[in-house]
């Protein structure tokens, strides 16, 4: 395994942990629905709001894409090896600009976080996102500081979508997108 692939592996493993909501060692449709519901609840928007409905659709589409692309044995569950191998394969194939599906998913996620619909995510809104992922307190502040390049106290939805894409595709351990989850990627590397 090359050092470059090891960077992506560490990031993929961190995200597997986010998706495996019941901590049973596999990702299934219930895990994805639970994660989606946690993100909606953390954002503090009603479950029947247009933002929530969009996020639920993204969650359902994400599960279908995961199942179709990564569930090699067809058992309706994705184990860590299936997840890592599949995401590594897909990230290599998707190294160019994000496609429409990825942009729609990222847009729905960050629009959900942007509670006041001003096109910007505040530190408080970003902290809610981190809380939904179960990241330790303080992680959001560190991540927010790193990502807020102009120091204006907000992150644009477009900047966050680009950072998310960079997280999933960059082989560079120092890539800015790696800070989306605070130091979770870095601590996983130790």
The CATH code of the domain that includes 17 is 1.10.238.10
Q: How many domains does the chain have?
A: 1
Q: Residue 28: which pLDDT band, with cuts at 50, 70 and 90?
A: very high
Give the domain range for residue 55: 3-189
Q: State yes or no: pLDDT of 102 exceeds 90.
A: no
List, in sequence order, the alpha helices (H) in the chain.
3-19, 29-43, 50-70, 80-93, 100-113, 123-132, 139-147, 157-169, 184-189
Give me the mean pLDDT over the 91-112 stretch. Answer: 68
Q: State yes or no: pLDDT of 105 exceeds 80.
A: no
């Amino acid at each position: 395994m090359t050092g470059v692939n090891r960077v992506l592996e560490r990031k993929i493993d961190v995200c597997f942990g986010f998706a495996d909501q019941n901590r049973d060692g596999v990702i299934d449709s219930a895990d994805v629905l639970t994660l989606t519901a946690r993100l909606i609840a953390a954002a503090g928007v009603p479950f029947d709001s247009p933002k929530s409905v969009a996020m639920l659709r993204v969650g359902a589409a994400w599960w279908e894409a995961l199942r179709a692309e990564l569930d090699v044995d067809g058992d309706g569950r994705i184990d860590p090896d299936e997840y890592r191998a599949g995401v590594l394969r897909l990230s290599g194939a998707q190294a160019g600009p994000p496609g429409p599906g990825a942009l729609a998913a990222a847009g729905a996620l960050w629009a959900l976080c942007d509670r006041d619909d001003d096109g910007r995510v505040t530190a408080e809104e970003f902290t809610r996102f981190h809380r939904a992922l179960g990241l330790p307190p303080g992680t959001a502040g560190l991540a927010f500081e790193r990502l807020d390049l102009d120091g204006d106290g907000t992150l644009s939805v477009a900047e966050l979508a680009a950072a998310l894409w960079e997280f999933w595709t960059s082989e560079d351990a120092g890539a800015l997108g790696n800070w989306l989850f605070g130091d979770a990627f870095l601590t996983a590397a130790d």
